[in-house]
Amino acid sequence: MKCWFCEEEARGTCAACGRALCHHHAHIHDEMTLAKSDTSTGYSSYYNVYGALKCSECKLEWRSYKPHG
């Protein structure tokens, strides 16, 4: 697989978007939390990924959702 940005041989993929990344274009993301909620039970679960690869194009930010009611 080739790097999305420069066509060099890829060493991994961006944890956010899945683009292939070479060593030069891969950045280390300190911590990434992936969460999901089960609307039938009301429970949420999540896991943390430490040291995941991230490309320079992805801009990640926290979003919160509070149901009305």
pLDDT > 70: what percent of the chain? 99
Give the residue among 54, 43, 48, 44 at the shortest CA–CA distance from 14: 54
CA–CA dist 23, 12 (Å, integer):
8
The pLDDT of residue 37 is above 80: yes
pTM above 0.75, yes or no: no
The arithmetic mean of pLDDT across residues 51-64, rounded, is 87
What are the boundaries of each domain within the chain?
12-54
Average pLDDT for the chain: 89
* Reported confidence tier of residue 69, pLDDT bands at 50, 70, 90: low
The pLDDT of residue 65 is above 80: no
The pLDDT of residue 8 is above 70: yes
